[in-house]
Structure 1
Amino acid sequence: MPLDLSSEPFPANGAIAGEGARKLLGTPTLTLLQTLARESGQNAWDARASDSVRMQVRLRTLDEAQAACLRSEILANLPESTHSHDLLEPARTSSCVTVLEISDFGGVGLGGPTRADIASPDKTARNFINLVRNIGAGRDIAGGGGTYGFGKMALFAASECSTVLLDSLAVDASGSVERRFIGCHVGEEYVGANGRRFTGRHWWGRSPDEPDASGGFVEPLLADEAEAIAEGLGLPRRVAADTGTTIMILLPRVENLHDAAAEIRAAFLWFFWPKMIAEGGAEPPMTFAIEAEGETLLVPSPEHFPPLDLFVQAWRLVKSSDPQSRAVICERPRKLLGRMAITRGFRGDRKYGAETGPIQGSAHHVALMRPVELVVKYLPGTPLPHEAHEWAGVFICNDDVEVEEAFARSEPPAHDDWMPNSLPKGPAQTWVNVGLRRVGQLASEIVHPAQSGTATTVEQPPLGSAAARLGQLMPRSVEDEDRVRRGTIRGRRRAWSVEPAEFITLEPVEGGVSAVFRVQARNSSAEPLAIRAMPGLVLDDRISGEIELPDGGKVVTQNWTTASGEHFATGEIALLPAGSFGDFRIRVLVPGLAAVGLSLDVED
């Protein structure tokens, strides 16, 4: 049975018109797809039911049956407005209807009251009305990113017909779940045939048994009816454990579905990489799957997405309060505003659409974030003199309630900046102002320190632009990563294991650079274990046995040090004592512009 259409009339006291609602998003600094990815990912994180959430994005063309379901069940009734009718007509008549689906699994879904005039004692149970009914709902999760505020208008901006369909398996405070489905369209205000003015906001659902006095209200479809229409549209199936929401954007504003999927993948990496880091053997807090017309796109780990590898290193320094990190302090009024750290390295090859991100060229930026650890923006600094070198920093504001709230309130609707002048004069404005200024100053001090007459400058070593290739010394695709991980060496005659070498960084040295690899080894036997580290040139993405360069130079294993920097061995071979564990850094001298890897062998 076709869904009922509800068109919102202006009440006597007035309301915001559809075109006004669309303008509330402002003018984000990001592209439309980046804003969409940023907003949807943030909403999924804030609405998670536990410590982790899984996101899935699909860009696809509806098949004939799915398009028929859309036409007959949802778009059978169109708004009276000529403007909205013209926007929606292509979705009814086109032979090629494309959609962009954004789903989260492991979230609480769109629960709570379905009417905005009904109070809810549970602040976390307002997701339905905040996304579907209200405009500009305030942040109601302490330390969250700002669920379903003005930024939700990015969903409608991403649709050629300004229409989204919402399918949710919502969980309430008691733990019970309910399937809900509703359609939403934001058009322009208009005057109806009866002379009444309408805002331009419309919903498709089911009229209540007792019609609303205003005549402008529909409830979402529930339970089996909601599940049936979701299935008819080809939306992801959900069992009881798969709570969360799917947002289907009709006729997305993209020229090519595959290119759009790649840009969304890159945006997730650029803004959610702190949530994509697996620590201590656990699954990362957020995982992402992306498809375009049934083709799955590979989503690499941040460590394999330069320059995020450098940002991850800086993030770890901040998280551990490493001595290399710096406190950012406001003197008047005295307040710890947060911590920051910076790392430097050679520019790694850009892959997976990284060039569509907010950093063009070599990185020279600080990633700004609140304790929720979603990247707000990348604050540019001064680049290093040579384009083959780059630096990356991370600043996380203090989790002190007053400080975190100040930075959160300074964000525009798209959550893509910190704007101190948007705050009233007072401590909050001062903290954000000083924080941004001090982060810039510290970045300059760390990256471009005052040089003494004997100091080594950041321009060393004097390598050509081709040195950028050195940023990726080993095969770095996820498939290669899996292949190497399976290459762990284990003893047959006695108990020992050696993990495969992991490239860490590059260090400038006299005569070239040193490639630094990490190797972990455990010797549970009663005899010393001889481990040999053999460097080799990388040819065709594989480590060869070649060590001689065309110009006559050689790649050579220099030394082994412990994780704390203590010397352990010189040359290729190191002896690991019986009953011990080692976490080593092995340095390989690379005299020229060559890609090298490190193979390991053990004498058992």
Structure 2
Amino acid sequence: MQESGMDASDLARRLGATLALVEAWLGERSVPHPDLLVKVQEIVGAEDGTARGSAVAPVQQEVPTEASVVWYHRPGHDDGGREFGNAAAFAFEADLEVLAREATQNSLDERDRSNDRPVRVRYTLHELTGDTLVRFRTAIRWHDLHPHYEAAAAQDQKVGRVISAGLREMFERDRLVLLRVDDYNANGLTGDDYEDGRFAAVVRRQLESRKSDAAAGGSYGLGKATLWATSRLGLVLMNSTLSEPHEGRTRRRLIGRLDLPWREVGGRRFAGPAWLGRPDTEADNSEVVRSWWADEETVESLHLTREDGDPGTSFLIVGAHDVASLAEAGQGEGGEGDDEDSLERMHQRLVRALGRNFWAAMTAGGDREPLLEASVRTLRNGVEHIEEEQVDPQVHQPARSRALQAFLSGTTVDRLTEAGQVALTTVPLKVPERDGLAGTAGEHRAVLLVTEATDADGRINQVTAMRGNRMTVKTSWIPGLPVGTNPFQAVLLTGRAAGDDAPFAAEAEEFLRSSEPPEHNKWGQTEELRMRYSPSAHRRIAALTSETNKAVHELVAIPKERKPSGTSKVSKRLKISGRSAIKVRGTVGPPKLDELEAVIDPSGAWQITAEVKVPAGGEPWRMSPVAKLEVRSGPRPVVKWSELVAVSNCELADGVLRFTPGTRRAVFRGVTDVSTHPVRAALTGLVVELHQSRGDIA
């Protein structure tokens, strides 16, 4: 080349190859494929692979499996603009729970609605080490990527530091974690490589959702960015089976996308993103690549083999990490720790996130199939490390799943009279007019379900709200519940989730969807809501919340005439006990417990709020709260307090209450110590007594 006055750009142009590929040959990071080697020899006039000092002799390199598949790195902007990372990725934390929520939501939105089968989503954690890792680096053409990663890691900004940690993890610890998200019975990445369609929206574009269905969970086009945000290396590979043919084919459509910051490599400037694909000979820029139809061997080498021919997409996150999991392990970025425990934590966090956010989509009832099936498995070098775990909504959210199942099966009741029942009522949502269009306003009737809570439900006395795709949008407390209310869980079904025959269901879907932020975790004021409806439209959501809370109160509150009878579950299990102190004429009786509210928290402890009636005048009383478990016979076992807190008009010191002089009522709170419970709280009642400091009972 030097003798003929040819540089790398000239050779790349004459070969029809990328400059990066030629520079890799010259830098001895790669060797030409035999077909290209013949062309090289013709161009430079060499008679064999060692003539004129050319560096094309066979050497031990990471040789690409398909020479026609290369990396294309977007050139730097001519106007000098620079992006040091994908702004969309910064909208979310690199958290596996966030990834599970966003990626599963996208799969749920892409469910193939031509049949009634659920979309199946599988998360696979896969740790690579040793030769398995080397072979994978060969498959992704690491020899072409390495100089770009080195340039990106050298930059002192957030993305550069994350990449640097990912490189240390891979080379110093010889470890790389892949996270694959597969969906089946979904649409797949259909459409042209560049024109409007699912493929271009995911692979080529930012902030494009292309979800026309109002029931879809996503609407901002941001959720897909969590895939790249979860990768320390900013790299995601994709293998899609299409629900409709493209170029006459449906299986093994592959593409890779790399998101790096602006960088300078080999004297050339690159804008950020890069794509792994086959050179597009019809593009204006001959270096641009497009997706390709891969053979089974290539798909296997990239760890992208799908289990069957159902349409859908497999996303492979290369260098997956979880900020929250690292924090739990006491690690920083790239910190040392127990890899096995790390994989275990990541596995469990995925399972918990799926159970918490998609229990409703995974619930079936009557003749209604679930919308979603989800599972998590973990591998090490291709060998099963943690058995595949199917996420069961009945395990993660038993009461809420029971409520939704009763609604789908048509077995709800008007009022709760027995354990296990599900009460149903409706609450109004007045949907305002959209975009000035007549007929878009009206009253939607959302469905409210209430059922008894169980110990496995976590926080009690809450309402969980959702729309048509049955992904949890928000969970909130019900305020102002009266003392003695039985623990419950409530579910609010809005839009199409309320049923196909619910009035103004489609309008409610669109209205509430417009009120959700990018995280889709609440309903409130947004710019879209303000523009499409009115500046005051968010007040309709506040009214829905108010009506929901009111309806819950009506369903769970114990009527006043029933309170003395003690027929509720709580009143049967909760007692204020003790004997009256003997009073001498002219003396004042001791303080007495007047009201007591108690629930069993997720740990199995009793949580109580007690109100004490303090007599006027008399001596400054000193009282000790005592908790006992109600048993059928024998003395009541005393349990210790893990926490006692003075709330109002009193002080606590060494477990003794001292009341503010002149007060008539005081409030304190307490939590029992589960380790001192001889039996589970759910199987007993609770008795609370006030003991005087000299040992008497008040």
TM-score range, shorter chain: 0.5 to 0.7
State the partner residue of 1:302.
393
Aligned residue in 2 for 1:26? 91
Superposition deviation, residue 56 in structure 1:
1.0
| Alignment partner of 1:189 is 2:257 | no
Q: 1:281 to 1:446 in 2, by over 3 A?
A: closer
Distance 1:549 1:233, change over 3 A: farther
1:146 counterpart residue number: 218
The answer to whether the 8 Å contact 2:377/2:389 transfers is no
Q: Partner of 1:164 in structure 2?
A: 236
Verify the 8 A CA contact 1:311 1:367 in the aligned structure 2: no
Shift in Å at residue 287 of structure 1?
1.1
Q: Which amino acid aligns with 2:352?
A: A
TM-score normalized by structure 1? 0.65
**Aligned-pair distance for 1:420?**
2.0
Separation (CA, whole Å) in 2 of partners of 1:144 and 1:66: 39
Determine helix, strand or coil for the equivalent of 1:150.
Answer: coil
Give the whole-Å Cα distance in 2 for the aligned partners of 1:245 and 1:109: 5
- SS at structure 2 position matched to 1:59: strand
For the residues of structure 2 that align with 1:440 and 1:99, how far apart are their CA atoms?
A: 42
CA contact (8 A) 1:164 1:184 kept: yes
Deviations 1:115-154 (A, max 9, x none): x2x35xxxxxx22111111101134331322378111111
Aligned partners of 1:154 and 1:139: how far apart in 2? 17
Whole-Å separation in 2 of the counterparts to 1:377 and 1:469: 20
Report deviation, 1:426: 6.0
Partner of 1:396: 494
Structure 1 pair 332–44 and aligned structure 2 pair: CA distance change class (3 A): closer
The partner residue of 1:77 within 144, 147, 150 is 144
Q: Residues 317 and 282 (structure 1 numbering): CA distance in 2 closer, same or farther, change over 3 Å? A: closer
Higher RCO (C-alpha 8 Å, min separation 6): 1
Cα distance in 2, alignment partners of residues 430 and 409 from structure 1: 13
Report the residue type matching 1:76 in the other structure: H
- What SS does structure 2 have at the residue aligned with 1:145? coil
State the 1:100 CA deviation.
Answer: 1.2
Residues 299, 195 of structure 1: alpha-carbon distance in 2 compared, 3 angstrom cutoff: closer
AA matched with 2:517: P
Q: Specify the code of the residue in structure 2 equivalent to 1:34.
A: E
1:408-423 map, 5 Å = 408-423=513-528
Letter in 2 for 1:372: N
Distance 2:368 2:558 in 1: 43
Look up the equivalent residue of 1:9 and give its one-letter code.
P
Among candidates 106, 122, 125, match of residue 59 of structure 1:
125
Number of matched residues? 456
The answer to whether 1:234 aligns with 2:303 is yes
The C-alpha deviation readout for 1:451-497, integer Å capped at 9, x for no partner, is: 865253986344387866999xxxxxxxxxxxxxxxxxxxxxxxxxx
Structure 1 residues 372 and 161, CA, compared in 2 at 3 Å: closer, same or farther? same
- Give the corresponding residue for 1:542: none
1:279 alignment partner AA: G
Secondary structure at the aligned position of 1:160 is classed as strand
Mapped pair 1:262 → 2:328: no
State how far apart, in whole Å, the 2-side matches of 1:211 and 1:81 are: 29
Aligned twin of 1:485: none
- Cα separation, 1, equivalents of 2:563 and 2:534: 39
SS of the aligned residue for 2:459 comes to coil
Question: Which residue is equivalent to 1:36?
Answer: 99
Q: Distance in 1 between matches of 2:79 and 2:521?
A: 33
Are the aligned partners of 2:399 and 2:489 in contact in 1 as well (CA < 8 Å)? no
Secondary structure in structure 2 of the residue aligned to 1:269: helix
Following TM superposition, by how much is the alpha carbon of 1:104 offset from its aligned partner in structure 2, in angstroms? 0.9
Q: Distance in 2 between matches of 1:370 and 1:135?
A: 25
* Shift in CA distance, 202/318, structure 1 to aligned 2, threshold 3 Å: same
1:487-521 deviation per Cα after TM superposition (whole angstroms, max 9, x unaligned): xxxxxxxxxxxxxxxxxxxxxxxxxxxxxxxxxxx
Letter in 1 for 2:100: A
In 2, Cα distance between equivalents of 1:332 and 1:410: 12
The correspondence of residues 171-320 of structure 1 with structure 2, limited to 5 A, is 171-172=243-244, 176-191=249-264, 193-194=266-267, 196=269, 198-208=270-280, 210=281, 212-214=283-285, 217-224=288-295, 227-239=296-308, 241-254=309-322, 255=326, 256-280=342-366, 283-293=369-379, 294-296=385-387, 298-306=389-397, 308-310=398-400, 312-313=402-403, 316-317=406-407
Give a deviation string over 1:302-333, Cα, whole Å, max 9, x none. 23324x52364157449969753223232876
1:330 and 2:439 are equivalent in the alignment: no
Secondary structure of the 2:209 match is coil
The aligned amino acid for 2:251 is E
> Aligned residue for 1:441?
546
TM-score by length of 2: 0.57
Where structure 1 has 5 or more consecutive residues not aligned to the other structure, the ranges are: 120-125, 351-360, 472-547, 554-591, 597-604
| In structure 2, distance between residues paired with 1:430 and 1:338 | 23
Residue number in structure 2 paired with 1:508:
none
Aligned partner of 1:380 among 466, 473, 477: 477
Match of 2:691 in 1: none
Distance 1:429 1:7 in 2: 44
Q: 2:133, 2:470 → 1: CA distance?
A: 39
Aligned residue identity for 2:298: I
Per-residue CA deviation, residues 87-125 of structure 1 (Å, 9 max, x unaligned), is 2644763522111111112222212111x2x35xxxxxx
Query: Percent identity of the aligned residues?
Result: 22
Aligned residue number for residue 481 of structure 1 = none
Quickly say closer, same or farther: Cα 1:92–1:297, change in 2 above 3 A: closer
- Where in structure 2 are there 5+ consecutive unaligned residues? 1-63, 155-162, 327-341, 380-384, 415-423, 434-440, 497-503, 576-597, 605-630, 637-679, 685-698
**Alpha-carbon deviation of 1:219?**
1.6
* Cα gap change, 1:461 to 1:394, in 2 (>3 Å): farther
Q: Which residue of 1 aligns with 2:571?
A: 460
CA distance in 1, matches of 2:291, 2:220: 18
- 8 Å CA contact 2:83–2:261 kept in 1: the answer is yes
| Cα-Cα RMSD | 3.9
- State the match for 1:566 in structure 2: none
- How far apart are residue 236 of structure 1 and its match? 3.9
Structure 1 residue 594: Cα displacement: 6.3
Residues 145-195 of structure 1: CA distance to partner in whole angstroms, max 9, x if unpaired? 237811111111111222212122223258951312222221212345556
State the structure with more CA Rg: 2
SS of equivalent residue, structure 1 residue 184 = strand
* Residue pair 2:514, 2:529 contacting (<8 A) in 1 also: no
- Give the Cα–Cα distance (whole angstroms) in 2 for the partners of residues 346 and 401 of structure 1: 31
Cα pair 2:241 2:312 within 8 Å, conserved: yes
Give me the whole-angstrom Cα distance separating, in 1, the residues matched to 2:227 and 2:484.
41
CA distance in 1, matches of 2:513, 2:222: 14
2: CA distance, partners of 1:276 / 1:112: 29
Aligned-partner Cα distance in 2 for 1:326–1:279: 20
Contact in 2 for aligned 1:410/1:420 (Cα 8 Å) = yes
Map Cα deviations across residues 236-289 of structure 1 (whole Å, 9 max, x no partner): 4344x3322111112221341111111111211222122211223665331112
SS in 1 for 2:240: strand
